[in-house]
Structure 1
């Protein structure tokens, strides 16, 4: 039997979401709690990896178990076993063929930039000391939307067969001293959102001409996309199924 689990976490004290031998991870913490509750080893499958320092507003996972525990009681018990930086939002039985990663149709990420250096917010946003030219940023965004080969905007990982992805939306909104970007697409390559974000920052700072964007996509060159935006400003916002 398959259960879907929705969760959020503060990523600052995790070495990423995926289980590792020597480091604290989101997957390992949840699997430890699942084993205590269901009295059997359980593997949690997440919708995708997040890097060290990256947060999740709504991550999704699934696991299989032979034990039958009412959803509300299991959710309550598991949250009591969670560390303070993980919160389980929902737990429900689902179709046996549901897969948190492969059933996903869209993902949305949020990236938070602040123009005020607040010491208490440093783990949750990226500070810039200069505003961005949003007209230039808009010109670059227009060329990134749609289906493209995003090889130049990724650190391709072993096992990724294709670097073609579809970006449905890159938008932003201003809230007080913050600039909040959203990236929505059918999937994202390794570090793709952070590379895109750093590229847009450099475009907005005048370091890169936005007119080069289409040529960069076509060239597969990483000449202008070697840098990666800091992890702490990035949030996995949600997954559509």
Structure 2
């Protein structure tokens, strides 16, 4: 039987989602806890990878079990087993061929910026003291939505077949003391969101302009785009799937 597991984590202590040969990952931590708890060899296939230090408010993975799970009890016991910086939200029974990565319709990320020192946000937001032109940054966001090839924002030497991503949303908003960038697409390239944010912040700081953003994208050259902002401000916040994947009462 195939299940989806929905979970969240604070990425500060982890070298990203994906298993690493010599560093602690969220995937390894969860697989070890699940395998121990259910006395089975559990292997998780995640909806995507997050880099070291990136957080997830919502992420999904799929796994297979021979024996049926009592899902509410499984969530309760697994949360008791896992460290405090990982929480399981739910477990769903899905159709046998459901795939956490390939069946995802869209993903949403948020990036958080603060503009004054806040000890409670030090590990979860990027601090920029200088004034930012939010209107100019949102004009640049509107230009992003006109493009589909985002090679200029991709990590160098990435083994991907295409740099095409279909953006649905890209927007900055002021939420109390925070500035939040929200972006939704069918897929993202490695390091893409952090490179986009760095480029947009250059616009907000007056180091670049909206037209330059178009030139950067058309160049397809990572060296033309802004620097990647720190991972600590980045959150994977939502993944959308077809309802048909989830079995009734699953």
TM bin (shorter chain): over 0.9
CA distance in structure 2 between the partners assigned to 1:77 and 1:90 by the alignment: 12
TM superposition shift of 1:159: 3.3
1:57 aligns with: 57
Runs of 4 or more above 3 Å deviation: 156-159
CA distance in structure 2 between the partners assigned to 1:57 and 1:161 by the alignment: 28
Aligned partners of 2:153 and 2:225 also within 8 Å: yes
TM superposition shift of 1:102: 0.3
Gaps of 5+ in 2: 242-250
Gaps of 5+ in 1: none
2:10 aligns with: 10
Secondary structure of 2:224's aligned partner: coil
Aligned partners of 1:7 and 1:59 also within 8 Å: yes
| Distance 1:44-1:191 versus aligned 2 partners, 3 A rule | same
Greater Cα shift, 189-198 or 64-73: 64-73
TM superposition shift of 1:139: 2.2
> Under a length normalisation based on structure 2, what TM-score does the superposition of the two structures give?
0.93
Aligned partners of 2:55 and 2:234 also within 8 Å: yes
2:206 aligns with: 206
1:39-188 alignment to 2 at 5 Å?
39-156=39-156, 158-188=158-188
Q: Aligned pair count?
A: 241
> Under a length normalisation based on structure 1, what TM-score does the superposition of the two structures give?
0.96
Name the structure where strand makes up a greater proportion of residues: 1
CA-based RMSD of the aligned residues comes to 1.3
